[in-house]
């Protein structure tokens, strides 16, 4: 399992663990995140271990680098293949999208949680909830 988050010091960190039973630290400022009860095997993720927010949403783990790479290749080939390559790339994108795993994302701090057991109460991105957090930031 893996957590990708932005620490309060501004550093973007990635931490991997089998169970997150041990506290982990920001490699930049040394801030410790010590809260092993943020998930369990039965219920999945309960809240964001970074900011303690309980509003989390799930989305496909679409690797932007792969997507952009495919689009660039498609654009380069497009003049030679009468735009068919663009279509092919769009189809590849679509295929990739279907097999991608789900990630859980925190509405508040945008921490990303990979390979955690699924919490069945979590749903896809909700603009209303997101607006609440964005307006709280202002």
CA 92-98-103 angle, to 5 degrees, is 120
- Name residues whose C-beta falls within 8 Å of residue 107's C-beta, 6 or more positions apart in sequence: 53, 55, 56, 57, 129, 130, 132, 133
Binding mask 49-88 for Zn ion (x = CB under 5 A): -xx-x-----------------------------------
- Which residues on neighbouring strands pair with residue 56, listed in sequence order? 106
Cα–Cα distance, 20 to 1 (Å, whole number): 8
Question: Taking CB under 5 A as the criterion, which residues in 31-50 touch Zn ion?
Answer: 31, 48, 50
Exactly one of 106, 113, 116, 119 binds Zn ion (CB under 5 A); that residue is 106
- Examine residue 29 and tell whether it contacts Zn ion (CB under 5 A): yes
In 3-state terms the chain splits into helix, strand, coil percentages (rounded to 5) of: 35, 25, 40
Structure tokens at 34: 């010590």
As measured in angstroms, the least distance from the Cβ of 48 to Zn ion is 3
Between CA 26 and CA 66 the distance in angstroms is: 27
* Least Å from the CB of residue 32 to Zn ion: 10
Binds Zn ion by CB under 5 A, chosen from 3, 26, 45, 103: 26
Minimum CB–partner distance for residue 104 and Zn ion (Å) = 10
- Token pair 């620490």: residue: 7
Q: Provide, rounded to whole angstroms, the least separation between the CB of residue 75 and Zn ion.
A: 36
- Of 45, 74, 111, 119, the one binding Zn ion (CB under 5 A) is 111
Chain contacts with Zn ion (rule: CB under 5 A): 7, 9, 11, 26, 28-29, 31, 48, 50-51, 53, 106, 108-109, 111
């Amino acid at each position: 399992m893996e957590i990708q988050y932005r620490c309060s010091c501004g550093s973007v960190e990635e931490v991997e663990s089998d169970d997150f039973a041990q506290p982990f630290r920001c490699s930049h400022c040394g801030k410790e995140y010590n809260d092993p009860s943020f998930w369990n095997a039965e219920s999945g993720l309960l809240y964001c271990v970074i900011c303690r927010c309980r509003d989390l949403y799930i989305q496909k783990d679409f690797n932007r680098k792969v997507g952009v790479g495919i689009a660039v290749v498609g654009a380069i080939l497009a003049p030679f293949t009468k735009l068919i390559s663009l279509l092919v790339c769009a189809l590849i994108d679509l295929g990739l999208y279907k097999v991608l795993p789900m990630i859980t994302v925190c509405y508040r701090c945008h921490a990303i949680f990979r390979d955690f057991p699924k919490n069945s109460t979590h749903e896809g991105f909700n603009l209303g909830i997101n607006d609440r957090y964005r307006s709280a930031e202002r």
